[in-house]
Each structure stands twice: as C-alpha cells, then as structure tokens.
C-alpha cells in the first residue's frame, strides 16, 4: 500500500527528539538547557526509518513505513490499511509527532503480487511507458529492478523474492509501485500530511492511479503460444514486438496500429498477462484497503476490459461523490453485467459526462 515516505516534521521539539531514549543520533551537535546547536546534519536510524536534523533545524523523516511495521527487517509481506494506521499511531505517540504537521514530500504507493508466472518473465517483458523505455537498474544487493522515470514520478517494478530469499521468501513476488517525487498528483488525492493517510478517502483514487498507469505500460507477453501463430507472426513480428526500440521508433499513428495488431494476437494466443496483472493489482489493493473503499464502490473486478461498449449519459455531480483529477470511477452491475462506470466532471459547464464500459470475459 504505502511504503517509502519522506516527510518534513514541523512543530517538533528538537531537544526532546535528540534526547529520545530510542534514537541515537550520529554527528556533531550539542544540547544545552533545551537549546540545540548542530554543525552538520545528524541522523538517527530506527526500525527502517531515518530521523534527520539539519543545522537550520529542518527535521526530516524518511524510510519505509512497511519496514517499520516489521521492525525494520523487510517489506515483502502484505501491509494493510489497519497496519498503516497502527504505524502512524505509534509514530505519533512514541515520538510526539503532530501528524497534521508532518508534510509529505515523497511517497511510494504499490502492491506486492504473487504472479502465476515467474517474476522474471514479467520484468523481461516490460518495454516502455508513455514513450519512455523501462531501464534495468543496478543494485548493491541481489535483485532485478526495472523502472521508468517521469517528471513527477517513476514506475518501479522488481522481484521481491530475489531481495529476501535468504529471509525465507521462496514464492514468486512481483512488486509494482509508483514513486512520487513531486506531490501534485498525490495532493489531488487529498494527501498532504501523514494525518491524511489515516483516513480512507484516498484509497479508491490511488487505486485508479495504479490502474491508469499500468494501462499505459507496454508489456511483451512471454506466455504467447508461438505454435499457434502464422509464419509471418512467428518469424518477424515476435522479434519486433519484444523489442522496445522497435516500438519507440515508430510514429505515434503506426505504433497505435501495430499495438492493435499485437493486442489482437495476444488475446487469442496467450494467457493475457497484462490483463491478469491489472486484475491482481485491483484485487490486492482492495484486500489491503480492508473496507477503506466505500461500499458502493467495493465490488472486486472478476473480469477486466477487453472489448468496450460506450453509453454516454449526462447529469449533475452528487454531493457524496469525490472526484480526483475531475474523474470518478466505479464498478457496477447492470442487468447482470459488470461494467466500469466513469464520470468526468466538466468544471466549465458544471455537468457530468458518464460512461459505461462493458467488462468482457
């Protein structure tokens, strides 16, 4: 759910923090009658978190809230909303933090998935996102990480099992996360401080961000059944489709045309891995939310959009509807058929355009 955060701690007593019994600050500093003097920044590590104090008395907290929950050991298991609330309550009580004064500067949102295929197969197939290629990242510890860097955020995907196999994690574990270094999109979810994370109104909009981003990821599906392809697809197209450079060197129009052909081929000749991961992201996030998604928006997606039929409606926004980036998304059942129900609010006209997209197995 939420993992790494970087937070500006405001309105905090420096003397009390430095003298805290569970924190051992490393660096040059002095405390005299409550006055603190710091020559250079000082750092205290505690259960996967770092408390950093700078000479100008700027105080920063950074690290994995998930690891903190596990005493700093790991973050490969499930981290539910109730666990997040517990961590925030502990930080508030143990370190006398005023959570509404703890301003979030960076945050990671993501899920740990248990894929039906080898995680390496997924990572090998990650090609690009919004015209930027996935790059494999080197790491000082065992692992396989690929990421795409954008101006406000980066997409990070990696193999959790490789990181923690020595700690007993033997099952496949694929991590998919969005790491925000600029908070514009996160602020639109209603998240500004640690205190905002204690509520649940951000759960569904955050899920929408994860799904919307994954939708634009180009994944070559290595579950493709080559023996079912024609000669041209098998001898030419396969080599092109699994090459990021091929896709990124196409014009936008030609890329769209070739991607349509690729998707049609995958639909009939593969396990549709991209769609399956999308379903798992949705399912896992809802499990972690534990009721944090409003009941009228809680139905799990049993089937995901492959074909789409659109019905346009018009109306006014309802008082209890929470729009993020002028959009609201729900899953509804109409005449026994599950559908995506998307509302787009037009601030100029004050009207809402509604769209039903049929979910087809």
pLDDT above 50 (res 354) = yes
pLDDT above 90 (res 328) = no
User: 313's torsion region: left (phi>0), alpha (psi -120 to 50) or beta?
Assistant: beta
∠ CA 36-42-46, rounded to 5°: 115
User: 34's torsion region: left (phi>0), alpha (psi -120 to 50) or beta?
Assistant: left
Q: What is the pLDDT of residues 223-242, one digit of tens each?
A: 999 999 989 888 889 999 99
To which H or E segment does residue 89 belong?
helix 81-94
Strand locations in the chain, DSSP E? 2-9, 29-32, 35-38, 42-46, 49-53, 59-64, 102-113, 126-129, 132-133, 135-137, 145-149, 153-159, 174-180, 217-219, 310-315, 327-334, 337-346, 351-358
Q: What is the pLDDT of residues 151-210, one digit of tens each?
A: 999 999 999 998 887 777 788 899 999 999 999 999 999 999 999 999 999 999 999 999
**CA nearest neighbour of 135 among 112, 158, 117, 163:** 158
- What is the pLDDT at residue 340? 52
d(CA 181, CA 108): 9
- What is the pLDDT at residue 336? 56
- What is the pLDDT at residue 142? 75
d(CA 177, CA 154): 8
The predicted model scores a pTM of 0.80
- What is the pLDDT at residue 143? 85
- What is the pLDDT at residue 138? 80
- What is the pLDDT at residue 114? 93
- What is the pLDDT at residue 310? 36
pLDDT above 50 (res 334) = yes
The answer to whether 177 and 154 have CB atoms below 8 angstroms apart is: no
**CA nearest neighbour of 101 among 92, 110, 111, 89:** 92
Place of tokens 């590590």: 45
- What is the pLDDT at residue 322? 43
**Residue extents of the structural domains in the chain:** 2-215, 224-270, 299-358
Q: What is the pLDDT of residues 82-103, one digit of tens each?
A: 999 999 999 999 999 999 999 9
Taking the alpha carbons of 79, 81, 86, 88 in that order, is the dihedral positive or negative?
A: positive
Q: pLDDT band for 32, please (50, 70, 90 cuts).
A: confident
Q: pLDDT band for 325, please (50, 70, 90 cuts).
A: very low
- What is the pLDDT at residue 296? 39
Report the chain's mean pLDDT, rounded to a whole number. Answer: 85
The answer to whether 94 and 22 have CB atoms below 8 angstroms apart is: yes
- What is the pLDDT at residue 330? 53
Q: What is the pLDDT of residues 265-323, one digit of tens each?
A: 999 899 999 999 999 999 999 999 975 564 334 444 433 333 333 333 445 545 444 44
Least confident span in 107-111, 229-233, 255-259? 229-233
Percent of the chain predicted with pLDDT > 70? 80
Count CB-CB contacts under 10 A for residue 341: 19
The answer to whether 3 and 110 have CB atoms below 8 angstroms apart is: yes
- What is the pLDDT at residue 314? 47
Q: pLDDT band for 246, please (50, 70, 90 cuts).
A: very high
- What is the pLDDT at residue 164? 85
Q: pLDDT band for 252, please (50, 70, 90 cuts).
A: very high
- What is the pLDDT at residue 111? 97
- What is the pLDDT at residue 357? 52
- What is the pLDDT at residue 35? 83
């Amino acid at each position: 759910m939420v993992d790494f955060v970087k937070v500006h701690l405001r309105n905090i007593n420096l003397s009390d923090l430095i003298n805290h019994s569970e924190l051992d600050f490393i660096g040059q500093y002095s405390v005299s009658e409550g006055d603190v003097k710091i020559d250079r920044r000082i750092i205290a590590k505690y259960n996967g978190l770092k408390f950093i104090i700078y000479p100008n008395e700027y105080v920063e907290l950074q690290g994995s809230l998930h690891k903190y929950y596990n005493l700093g050991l790991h973050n490969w298991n499930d981290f539910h909303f109730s666990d997040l609330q517990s961590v925030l309550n502990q930080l508030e009580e143990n370190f006398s933090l005023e959570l509404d004064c703890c301003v979030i500067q960076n945050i990671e949102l993501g899920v740990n998935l248990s894929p039906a295929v080898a995680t390496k197969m997924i990572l090998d197939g990650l090609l690009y996102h919004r015209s930027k290629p996935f790059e494999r990242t080197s790491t000082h510890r065992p692992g396989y990480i690929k990421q795409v860097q954008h101006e406000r955020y980066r997409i990070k995907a990696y193999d959790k099992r490789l990181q923690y196999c020595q700690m007993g994690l033997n099952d496949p574990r694929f991590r998919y996360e969005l790491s925000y270094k600029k908070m514009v999109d996160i602020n639109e979810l209603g998240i500004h401080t640690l205190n905002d994370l204690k509520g649940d109104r951000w759960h569904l909009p955050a899920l929408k961000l994860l799904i919307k981003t994954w939708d634009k990821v180009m994944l070559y599906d290595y579950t493709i059944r080559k023996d079912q392809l024609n000669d041209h697809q098998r001898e030419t197209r396969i080599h092109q489709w699994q090459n990021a450079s091929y896709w990124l060197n196409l014009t936008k129009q030609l890329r769209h045309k070739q991607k349509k052909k690729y998707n049609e081929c995958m639909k009939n000749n593969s396990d549709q891995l991209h769609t399956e991961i999308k379903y798992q992201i949705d399912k896992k996030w809802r499990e972690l939310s534990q009721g944090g998604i409003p009941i009228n928006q809680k139905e799990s997606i049993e089937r995901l959009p492959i074909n789409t039929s659109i019905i346009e409606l018009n109306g006014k926004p309802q008082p209890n509807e929470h729009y993020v980036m002028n959009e609201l998304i729900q899953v509804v059942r109409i005449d026994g058929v599950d559908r995506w129900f998307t509302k787009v609010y037009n601030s100029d006209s004050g009207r809402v355009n509604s769209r039903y997209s049929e979910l087809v197995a």
